[in-house]
Each structure stands twice: as C-alpha cells, then as structure tokens.
Structure 1
C-alpha cells in the first residue's frame, strides 16, 4: 500500500471529490491522498475518511508524486504560479481537470519542463460512470500515462486523444453531453405528461428507458444506428416517432449544437490562457 504514488488534489470541489471517491472505492489508500481547500471546514469530511488535508497548497505539493489541479479555470493561473517553485523542485506528474486551460499555459505558469496530462471529465464521474478524454504532453512518460489513466478510470472510462485540440471535440461530445441527455429526458417527461401520464410515472419511465437504452448500446455488438433499426418496425409506432424526428432535422440540430459547444471551448481556451 505504501508504494502507491502520493496524490495531491489542489481544490476539493465536486470533480475532485468524484475522483477521490472512485479511488477510495477501488481501495486506493486514503493516507496516500492529499486534498487542499481554502475553507478548512470543507475538508473535515475528507479528513474523517483518512485523507491528509490542508489549506496550504504548497504543503500538499511538496509531498506529492501526482498533482491534480481541480480549481476553477479562472483562478488556475494564480494557483499554478504560486506552485511553480515547488513543482520545479519535486517534478510531479501534473494532471489538470480545468476546462479551457492549454498545456502551453500550464507549462508557462508552472515554470516549464513539466509532465502535463489534461483531462476532460464529465459530471457522471460523480456516480462512477464518467467518460474522460486525456491528452499527454511529450514530457509524460509511458508509466505516467498509465498512472493518469488509472486515476481517471476510478470515475468511469478514460480515453486518450492524439492532439490537444481534440479535447474541444471531447468537450462537445462527453464533457457537455450529459446536459443534452438531460434535455431529451426533460422533453420526453413533458411529452408523457401531455399524453396523460402523471409526472411521476412519466419521469420513472423516461429515466429507466434512458438507462436501459444506454446499457443495451454499451453491451451490444451493434452500433446505435443498427439498434435503432432493429426496434423500428415498418409502419409501426416507433417508425412514426423516428419519421417526425428526422423531418424536424434532429441530427442536424445536434450537429449544430455540438459545433457551437466545440467553438466555445476553443474560444474559452484563448480567453483563459491569456498571459
């Protein structure tokens, strides 16, 4: 147990807690994890679980093999610059879950020559069913890549992208994707109510159907398009709904929305990485 790398979470918000929770559930030793937060009261429950906690970021970083930057993007520059001397001395693996901050900006703020992995997780990480996109700079060793993947896999699946710019596409697909599904659920619940179902029945049927469809797609050898065809009988009820969705250009609506998400991700990277 004592040979496990020491992890330091700089910031103990929802995403950090999701990763920590997944690690603990997978038997990662709590005594090998640090968590920092300016408000000491927000760290009490983590300390009760056996983690090292501190309101001082430097204390955690000087003990760490891996530093997970989980603060808001707007304050990351200040936090990173403050940590630069300790990072240069310790040379830990740096993992950032802050959206929109490029590895180039992180390198500059941390003093350069750092092993940086950028992570684009999503909110289902909170229930250990997340999907994370990962990008590693050239400084990251093969062993560090494995370690980064293992850390993020504690919250779901982790997939590598070849170029940093592809993280904008990850944002459009999985990073922001849960909100798309929530909106579809919202629309289905409302439509169910209009068709005469009670709000509770409409909600339960919608959520269970979403869960079931996702599990079927994940377990099937067929892609979603083929699964859709297999449950769409000619001249049947499902065909009528699919026809309406197609006539209203649902695929094009998703394409436009996800392109807008992608473009905004690029724009935020320019804004937040401004030195």
Structure 2
C-alpha cells in the first residue's frame, strides 16, 4: 500500500508539471514539420481513408452496419484505437526515451508515462471533436452519449497509464519488450473489432479471446455511446472485469516502477 500511495502522491504533487510537459511533448512531435500540428489530422485521415477504401468499399461493398453508414461506424472505433495504439507504443518507450534527459535531475520518474499518455489524450480530444460533429450530423448526438464518451476517455486513460507503468519499466530493463509490444499491437488491432462487426456465429474461442481484451470494452463503449446513446454497458459485469484488471495493472505497475527506478540508469 505504501508503494501505491507514493505513486499516487507523485502524480498529485506534479499535476501542473505533467500538464506543461504534455503540451511541450505534443508541440515537439511536430516541431520539425512544415505543416506542424495539422499532422494531428493528416496522419489519421490517411489511415482512415485507406481502411474505408479496403474494408468499407472493397470487402463490404459499401453496406452499412446495423443501419449505420460503414464510414461513421468505423471512425467511432478507429479514433479511440488511434489513442490506444499511440499510448501503448509511446508509453512503453517513455522512460527509456527520457532517461538521459532526467537522469541527473531530481525528477519524479513516475510522471513520465502519465504525461506522455496525456499528450496522446490531447490529440485524441481534437479528433474526438471532429468525430462528435460527424455523428451529430449523421445520427444525432444525445447527452447520455456524451457522458458515455467522457467515461470511456477516463477509463482508457487510467488503463493505459496503468499499463504504461509496467511496459515502460520492462522496456527499460529489456529493450526486446518494446519490440514485442510493437508486434503485439498489430495483432491486437484485429482482436479489437475496430474494422469488423463481431458475429454470434464466431468460434467461441475467438469470441472469448476478443472479450477478455479490455480494449474491446473501450472501443465498444465508444460505439455504443456515440451511435446509440446507450451507456448501459457501464453497469454491466464487463465493467467490473475491466476495472479489476485496470486496478491490478496499476498495482503491479507501481510495484515494478518503485522496485527498479533507482536502477534505470544502469540499463542505458
């Protein structure tokens, strides 16, 4: 409990620092480019166009999903996925990437994964505003839907920070972990039904693997909130499973981080 209290206290004591560093991180990501922060839109738009072309027009032949145009249905899942994917990759490399800069300073290392994922959240929020406008025009947007989206954002942020405490620690100790995570996220993309609708006729093994994936909960939560204004998933047993997993990861991540952070510099 002392370890967890220390981590939580470090986060609370450095809220302003994390806010400033996360904004700096976002600016730094596009500092060398001529288009600057416009890449926040251009990069996702390119990927969305390709996926829509291949899966929407090519494989599905333009057919809607549950009465919703495939493009709208797809972006309700893929924009949350961009946040998830970017946070997993950047979070796992966060401490190793910043260690040279902060190793000789009295710097609270536990805030690094948090502010890195916070910078990803800013990008997500910008894209989410565009998504909300598209949904409002094509389907209509309810107050409950917005509440559901805010809940999903918070849930995703907490889970990704908890996961990053683990992956950033392990990736600093053993660099192969980060390379493995890069490969694993590609597989996770298809185990999280971002581009396809799960069917009841699927093999139970595949359905089981899909549903134990916590990112399935997040993506489907966004879709349910945005497309149907339905937030009943918040009161489901699946929510209990998700938060138990998130808290377990936070505890494990806190213990690992405190255990190894004094030795991080030895792994540079």
Q: Say yes or no: TM over 0.5.
A: no
Which protein is richer in strand relative to its size?
Answer: 1
Instruction: Provide TM-score, normalisation by structure 1.
Output: 0.27
Q: Flag the structure with larger Rg.
A: 1
Q: Considering Cα pairs closer than 8 Å and 6+ residues apart, tell me whether 1 or 2 has the greater RCO.
A: 2
Q: From the two aligned structures, give the one with the greater helix fraction.
A: 2
TM-score by length of 2: 0.27
